Amino acid sequence: MTGSPQPVVFRRVVCRYGRSIAVKRVDLTVSAGEHVAVTGANGSGKSTLLRAVLGLHPLAAGDILVGGESANGTSGWMARRRNVAWVPQRLTPGRFPLLVDELLGSAIDCDVARDSAGDLGVAGLLRRPLHTLSGGQLQRVFLARALGCIAGGAGVLLADEPTAALDFAGQEQVAAMLAALPATVIVVSHDRAMSRTCDRIAEMAAGRLRIA
C-alpha cells in the first residue's frame, strides 16, 4: 500500500545546542507532493532542521506539522516517524554489527526495500554487516530502505545529502528515482543533478532559511 503525500509545515522553528542557536525561526511550507532541495554552507543547520521533524532534535520554539498535525507524546511521535522516511547524513558507527538485510527488514515494506536494493546495485551485500560497506554502498542501502518505507505508506521523504558519497552515475540515478517518487520530498543536497529535479530550492545560511 502506498500512502498519499503529506504537506510539511515549519512554523517559526528554533533549535538550539545548549546556548548556540542552530536553527533560527525557520518558516517553510512544503505542499503535498512537492519536492524541495535545501542547500547552504556547512554548519548552517540543515541536518538539525531535518532531524527536528523526526523528533531526534527537540524544538526550542515553534512547531512542525506533517499532514496538518504536530507530534505529541510517544504515540504521536511513533505515528510521525512511520509517516516520514529518513536517509541520515551519516551513521554513528555502532558498536554492534547489523546486517544489511536486517536494516532493509526494518523498512515498512521490506520486500520493496530489498527490490530497491537490487535496483541500486547493492543486492549482493545483504549478508554483510553495515560497517564493512563503503560510503556509497551504505547510502544506497539507506535509500533502498527509505523507498521501502515510502512504498509501505510513508508520505514524506527526508534525505540528508543522500548522494554525497555516490559516483556520477549514482547521483543521476538517485535524482531520477527521487523525482519519480509519489511523496513529499525534502532533500539536503549540494548536487546539481538533484537540485535540477526539485520544484524549489531553499537555502540555509547561519540557521536562517531563504527561498531561492
Partner 1 sequence: MQQFLDLLTLPPVQRSGVALLLAAIALPIVGVFIVGLDIVAVRFAVMHVALLGIAVGFLTGLDPMLCGLAACAIAGAGVAPLAQRPSGLPGAMGLLMTFAIAGALLVLSVSGVNATSAFELLWGSILATRPVDLVVLAVLAAVIHLLFWRYRRPLALLMFDRELALCSGVPARLLMLVLLIVVAVAIGASIRLTGALLVDAVTILPALAARNLGHSLRSMVLLAVSFGFAGNVCGFALALALDQPPGPVLVLVAGAFTLVTYLLPEGAFNASTAARQDDDRDLRGAVPADSLRQ
Give the interface with partner 1 as residue ranges (CB under 8 A).
54-56, 74, 77-78, 81-82, 86, 88, 91-92, 94-99, 102-103, 105-107, 118, 120-130, 137, 167, 169-170
Q: Which is nearer to ligand ATP, 108 or 174 (CB)?
A: 174
Instruction: Extract the C-alpha cell encoding 121.
Output: 546495485
The β-bridge relationship of strands 61-66 and 8-17 is antiparallel
Instruction: Return the residue of 1, 42, 58, 127 that touches ligand ATP, per CB under 6 A.
Output: 42
> Which 93-132 residues touch ligand ATP, going by CB under 6 A?
none
Instruction: Extract the C-alpha cell encoding 3.
Output: 500512502
Stretch that binds ligand ATP, among 3-11, 40-48, 64-72, 137-145 (CB under 6 A): 40-48
The reply to whether 70 sits near ligand ATP by the rule CB under 6 A is no
Rg (CA), the chain: 16
Stretch that binds Mg ion, among 31-39, 49-57, 84-92, 130-138 (CB under 5 A): 84-92
- CB of 151 vs ligand ATP, minimal distance in Å: 27
- Taking the C-alpha atoms of residue 106 and residue 163, their distance in angstroms, rounded to an integer, is 21
Stretch that binds ligand ATP, among 3-11, 46-54, 121-129, 134-142 (CB under 6 A): 46-54
Contact of residue 44 among ligand ATP, Mg ion, partner 1, none (CB under 5-8 Å per partner type): ligand ATP
Instruction: Extract the C-alpha cell encoding 103.
Output: 536494516
Instruction: Extract the C-alpha cell encoding 48.
Output: 538539525
- CB of 101 vs partner 1, minimal distance in Å: 9
HEC string of the chain equals CCCCCCCEEEEEEEEEECCEEEEEEEEEEECCCCEEEEEECCCCCHHHHHHHHCCCCCCCEEEEEECCEECCHHHHHHHHHHHEEEECCCCCCCCCCCEHHHHHHCCCCHHHHHHHHHHCCCHHHCCCEHHHCCHHHHHHHHHHHHHHHHHCCCCEEEEECCCCCCCHHHHHHHHHHHHCCCCEEEEECCCHHHHHHCCEEEEEECCEEEEC
Q: Which is nearer to Mg ion, 2 or 89 (CB)?
A: 89
Instruction: Return the residue of 46, 80, 140, 145 that touches ligand ATP, per CB under 6 A.
Output: 46
Q: Which is nearer to Mg ion, 25 or 190 (CB)?
A: 190
Contact of residue 45 among ligand ATP, Mg ion, partner 1, none (CB under 5-8 Å per partner type): ligand ATP
* Residue ranges in contact with ligand ATP by CB under 6 A: 17, 22, 40, 42-48, 89
